[in-house]
Amino acid sequence: MIRIEKQAWDTMVAHARECYPRECCGAMLGVEENGVRLVKAARPMRNAFEGAQEDTYQLDPAEQLAVEKEARAQSFSVLGIFHSHPDCDAYFSKRDLQNSCPWYSFVVLSIQKGEFHHANSFLPNFEQTEAKQEPLEY
């Protein structure tokens, strides 16, 4: 399961609202203890997708490397990636699956009319064929 601390959660929701009606993305940093992923910090990232961002996000690989370093400097790991679905449910889309990697949790925030609505977390498999929903607390 994944548990997101309040400050990190507030950062995620604020970033998703700021980017609306475009998709936002970012990294979740923290520690893993007894099978629980505890998110202690959220790091907004730029959506590097060059087309319409209403239903797509893309991480910037250089920024991803920088975030990995920032995490290590704080003795954290990058536990996952979050992104938003503007005016859409927090499901894991086919494109999300294609762009996923199996060692991360993927939190999707549904932003309806500019306000946070609900969120889900997913754990993609190694084949990128399906993603199981993961218990999420925030």
Q: Cβ 109 to Zn ion, closest distance in Å?
A: 10
| Residue at shortest CB range from Zn ion | 96
Nearer to Zn ion, 5 or 138 (CB): 138
Q: Which residues of this protein are in contact with Zn ion, per CB under 5 A?
A: 93, 96
Q: Which residue has the tokens 């009606």?
A: 21
Q: Cβ 69 to Zn ion, closest distance in Å?
A: 26
**Which region holds residue 114: left if phi is over 0, alpha if psi is between -120 and 50, else beta?**
left
Nearer to Zn ion, 11 or 56 (CB): 56
Q: Cβ 95 to Zn ion, closest distance in Å?
A: 7
Task: Mention every residue, 6+ apart, whose C-beta is less than 8 A from residue 134.
Answer: 1, 2, 105, 121, 122, 123
Nearer to Zn ion, 38 or 80 (CB): 80
